[in-house]
Amino acid sequence: TARSLADAGALLQRRDQSFARVQEHYYQAPPQIERGWQHHLIDTHGQAYVDMVNNVTTVGHGHPRIAEAARSQWSLLNTNSRFHYEELVRFTERLAALAPDPLDTVFLVNSGTEAVDLALRLALSYTGQDTVLAVREAYHGWSLAADAVSSSVADNPRALDTRPDWVHLVEAPNAVRGKYQGMQSAPQYLDDLDGDLRDLADAGRTVAAFIAEPVFGNAGGVLLPDGYLAGVYERMRARGALCIADEVQVSYARLGKHFWGTEQQGVVPDIITIAKAMGNGHPLGAVITRRDIAERFSEEGPFFSSAGGSPLSCRIGLTVLDIMRDEGLQQNAEVVGRHLKQGLERLGERFDLIGAVYGMGLYLGVELVSDRAAFTPATGAAARLCDELLLRGCIVQPTGDFKNVLKIKPPLCLSIASADHFLDALADALGAIAPRAAQSPTLSAASSR
């Protein structure tokens, strides 16, 4: 592994000359990846890694059914969505059937950013109101509008001071690290929200929408406090505002027990945004909403995305859903995810560095802390741990405002054997960087979920 990492450096230098350097890559010295198979990545020296970070490649790398669907659709037809063809109808019917009632209308785009941008436009046009509420510490994309509602300081250190006037940030409902802690803290967050809403009303502002992930993905998969979204959505609806669930990361069966993240909170949004998983790496995104919301938007003129909803994209999207059904991947996410989470919690009993284990299904987070009582983020240790794991054949990366939460989101085909391989590698890597056994007995309370 050490030799393959050294060799990848030459290509990295060339990359830095032609590709915008602002775009990050995993690791200071990343391996040069040549091929993928299921939940494995293989570098140019034939070294295989378990891919624990890839929440885009849901059904796994190199899936022959996707390759065949792409090949045959390209040979048959690929064009823009102003033409009339069957794949678009079949795919939008399928997505509408998966969405909770009364969401029955689909827009097809090419990424999560585009989906979020469009969702915001739908809400502003439907309500005619002026302000969008977004939670702190979130990421929703890079376009002007999607970036405006993104306030993660890990991505932009000046984020909190540079939001445009139409965005109002509310407290991050982070049940572990947030202002109020514990799964029963929703009433306190909602009290704060009531204060925000009063202030906005006093300033003559009206609320068009609330946007949030239904599971706090950017913080590493922290579940929202019980009843939080129900309370927020009730307040939004009382004001004629729309509720946008950004399901780009956490939905599409990743949570195992739930297809949609909002199911975990027991709510139905007005607008859902999806991307990543639905194309398994092919650029695909969608907005799913109610017919009346879509119709109001159409009064502003037609909507059109050249490649969004192309025959190729729809065919790939349909094939991903077929594979997920035929291979039982939602159930696999539930079973393997539970096994993995239990293993991570057991490691938490052995290593003080682990402060909490979050999430469900194959969307898990391991928060690393240098002091359990003070919950001090162990940012440097997280980076070192990822390097050690790479040497042991596992790819994983840190997330969150302090970059101290290992974000575990592998392809949904992850096997029990590979989950165990990762747990063994993690135990070994933890032993290498933090040999101290756990002194304080418990992980953070939120990890019991």
CB of 58 or CB of 418, closer to ligand PMP: 58
With CB under 6 A as the contact rule, the residue among 112, 221, 227, 400 that binds ligand PMP is 112
Name the residue among 70, 31, 67 with its Cα closest to residue 51.
31
The two most distant CA atoms of the chain are separated, in Å, by 65
Name the residue among 385, 347, 341, 418 with its Cα closest to residue 50.
418
Is position 411 an interface residue for ligand PMP (rule: CB under 6 A)? no
With CB under 6 A as the contact rule, the residue among 51, 117, 246, 270 that binds ligand PMP is 246
Instruction: Give 285's DSSP letter.
Output: E
Q: How many residues bind ligand PMP (CB under 6 A)?
A: 14
With CB under 6 A as the contact rule, the residue among 139, 189, 351, 358 that binds ligand PMP is 139
SS3 call for 419: helix
List, in sequence order, every beta strand (DSSP E) within 193-240. Answer: 207-212, 215-216, 222-223
Neighbours of 296 (CB within 10 A): 15
With CB under 6 A as the contact rule, the residue among 39, 40, 61, 140 that binds ligand PMP is 140
Is position 178 an interface residue for ligand PMP (rule: CB under 6 A)? no
Neighbours of 424 (CB within 10 A): 13
CB of 66 or CB of 145, closer to ligand PMP: 145
* Separation CA 325–CA 273 (nearest Å): 21
Q: Measured in Å, how far apart are the chain's first and last C-alpha atoms? A: 36
The stretch among 138-146, 161-169, 171-179, 352-360 that binds ligand PMP (CB under 6 A) is: 138-146
Number of helices (H), then strands (E), belonging to the chain: the values are: 13, 18
CB of 112 or CB of 309, closer to ligand PMP: 112
The stretch among 39-47, 136-144, 236-244, 342-350 that binds ligand PMP (CB under 6 A) is: 136-144
CB of 276 to ligand PMP, least distance (A): 6
Which residues, 348 to 377, sit near ligand PMP by CB under 6 A? none
Phi then psi for residue 103, to 5 deg, are -80, 115
Is position 213 an interface residue for ligand PMP (rule: CB under 6 A)? yes
Residue 416 is encoded by which pair of tokens? 């029990």
The stretch among 241-249, 347-355, 357-365, 430-438 that binds ligand PMP (CB under 6 A) is: 241-249
With CB under 6 A as the contact rule, the residue among 31, 36, 141, 225 that binds ligand PMP is 141
CA atoms within a 13 Å half-sphere pointing along the CA-CB vector of 433 = 22
CB of 307 to ligand PMP, least distance (A): 14
SS3 call for 93: helix
Q: Is the separation of the CB atoms in 300 and 125 below 8 Å? A: yes
Instruction: Give 351's DSSP letter.
Output: B
With CB under 6 A as the contact rule, the residue among 116, 118, 190, 430 that binds ligand PMP is 116
Contact pattern for ligand PMP over residues 263 through 302, marking x by CB under 6 A: ------------xx--------------------------
Which residue is at the shortest CB distance from ligand PMP?
112
Is position 214 an interface residue for ligand PMP (rule: CB under 6 A)? no
Residue 364 is encoded by which pair of tokens? 């898990």
Is position 111 an interface residue for ligand PMP (rule: CB under 6 A)? yes
Is position 254 an interface residue for ligand PMP (rule: CB under 6 A)? no
Residue 176 is encoded by which pair of tokens? 């572990």
Peptide bond into 102 cis (omega under 30): yes
With CB under 6 A as the contact rule, the residue among 58, 249, 379, 418 that binds ligand PMP is 249
Q: Is the separation of the CB atoms in 356 and 377 below 8 Å? A: no
CB of 405 or CB of 423, closer to ligand PMP: 405
* Interface ranges with ligand PMP (CB under 6 A): 111-113, 116, 139-141, 213, 217, 246, 248-249, 275-276
